[in-house]
Structure 1
Amino acid sequence: MDNFKNLDNKYRRYKAHVSIFGTTQFHLRNPYIIAWWSAAFPGFGHLLLSKYLRGLVLFIWEVFVNYQSKINLALVHSFGGDIELAKQTLDTRWMLMYIPVYLFAIWDSYRTCVDMNKVYLLAEKENAPFNSFSIGALEINYLDKRSPFMSVFWSIFMPGLGQLHIHRIIIAFFSLVWTIAFLYFSHLLEAVHLLFLGEIQKATDILDKQWLLYMPSMWGFAIFDSYINTVENNKLFEKEQQDFLKRNYQNAKFRVNKGKVVS
């Protein structure tokens, strides 16, 4: 038992973990971009950091409270230049509740990103070995190289498919379920069908604008998340392969001095 504990605590920080649910890793991120995604839709910044539980709580809060306060509908009226109608649409009881959590999501995602960047630098310096292969009764996951273009391509078709392409199961399930909900309640696909039939006015009238305005953020997040994580997974695969070859095949006397190889 003591040997097992010592083995577990041999290293302080691990740069990545491969499980049947996906590949979770530390890598450098721009805190301002993470904060921007939290501003676009609370919860997205945390999901990009693989903070799934915190991100999901903030996401559900955004959907529920935004819907009750009618913020999206007020935005539509504002875009149309009808400021007075936008004011009348807002439910201030819910809107004033919405503001503190919205600001917290931006601040917390920025702070967490800065902290995780510091942890990444320490983990990179320690360079502890990590698992690159996971197999279970339900799934198999392993590090390999995949095309970022294909991740973006499938995410454009349907949010969540790009994440499935890189075996990011939790975010894939999350994206698919909520995209279905947004498409259903916004009546977007019905509007597209009517648009193909030339019924432009009917297509406009059938849309639920409150639900429709969730969609641009959802689609953009799915595309961005799948692209970034494909690129970072490819880097992780290359780094793990380099470390493996150095540990097992590189001559112990191999040195590089002032740009010259010495062996």
Structure 2
Amino acid sequence: MLNGDFFKKIYEIINYRPFIAILCGWLMTGFGQIYNGQLLKGLLFGIPNANINFYGHLNEALLYAFLGDIEKSQTILNYQWILFYPAFFDISHWDAYEVSYEIQRKCAPPVSHKLPFILSGMFATVGVIFGSKYFPGPIYLGLGGYLVGGLIGVILIKLGKPS
């Protein structure tokens, strides 16, 4: 039977997990902060993100890219706005990760933990820039750059740890 203790246990298991904070931020920039209990900060990340998304025509470009119309996706994006997106996205993720890490472990995360966030933002921005001219377009190269940059950062952290 489901009772209050069951839900309390679930809350304790998922509350303030850095990885879950990042996943919430993936849903919408600012949700990671809201997950951490920082409503105002979440709104301060979410509202500018919505503006970048709207004026950069990101949702339309995503739709066309996922439907296979890469050329339409490339032409519809407003690159003056959309180039802010990867950095803003990563700053939001780093903040959500850092706060949930501090809450959960009662200490700040190591400086090296910033590396995946920095590299993913850099690679995603470069992917968007090159995707404006080359196949498979800014959406896929931006997403790919984000994932590759984050993966390289994690690998570098693992390689840098003493055995």
**TM tier, smaller:** 0.5 to 0.7
Give the one of 72, 76, 100 matched to 2:87: 100
SS in 2 for 1:112: helix
Matching of residues 122-161 of structure 1 within 5 Å: none
Work out whether 1:30 is the aligned partner of 2:30.
no
Give the one of 8, 25, 44 matched to 1:57: 44
CA offsets 1:151-180 (integer angstroms, 9 cap, x no match): xxxxxxxxxxxxxxxxxxxxxxxxxxxxxx
Give the one of 72, 77, 89 matched to 2:59: 72
Work out whether 1:110 is the aligned partner of 2:97.
yes
Contact 2:61 2:77 in 1 (8 A): yes
CA shift for structure 1 position 56: 0.5
CA shift for structure 1 position 119: 3.8
Listed as ranges, the gaps of 5+ residues in structure 2 are 1-10, 108-163
What is the identity, as a one-letter code, of the residue corresponding to 1:37?
C
Work out whether 1:89 is the aligned partner of 2:76.
yes
Contact 2:16 2:35 in 1 (8 A): no
CA shift for structure 1 position 32: 0.7
Matching of residues 2-21 of structure 1 within 5 Å: none
- Alignment correspondent of 2:129: none
Q: Tell me how far apart the structure 2 counterparts of residues 46 and 29 of structure 1 sit (CA, whole Å).
A: 10
Q: Tell me how far apart the structure 1 counterparts of residues 80 and 102 of structure 2 sit (CA, whole Å).
A: 35
CA shift for structure 1 position 108: 1.1
Give the one of 29, 53, 60 matched to 1:42: 29
What is the identity, as a one-letter code, of the residue corresponding to 2:102?
D
Q: Tell me how far apart the structure 2 counterparts of residues 47 and 30 of structure 1 sit (CA, whole Å).
A: 13
CA shift for structure 1 position 103: 0.8
Larger helix fraction of residues? 2
Q: Tell me how far apart the structure 2 counterparts of residues 29 and 100 of structure 1 sit (CA, whole Å).
A: 23
Q: Tell me how far apart the structure 1 counterparts of residues 85 and 16 of structure 2 sit (CA, whole Å).
A: 27
- Provide the aligned C-alpha RMSD in A: 1.9
Q: Tell me how far apart the structure 1 counterparts of residues 105 and 19 of structure 2 sit (CA, whole Å).
A: 15
Q: Tell me how far apart the structure 2 counterparts of residues 48 and 119 of structure 1 sit (CA, whole Å).
A: 17
Instruction: Give the number of equivalent residue pairs.
Output: 95
CA shift for structure 1 position 100: 1.0
Larger Rg: 1
CA offsets 1:208-248 (integer angstroms, 9 cap, x no match): xxxxxxxxxxxxxxxxxxxxxxxxxxxxxxxxxxxxxxxxx
SS in 1 for 2:68: coil
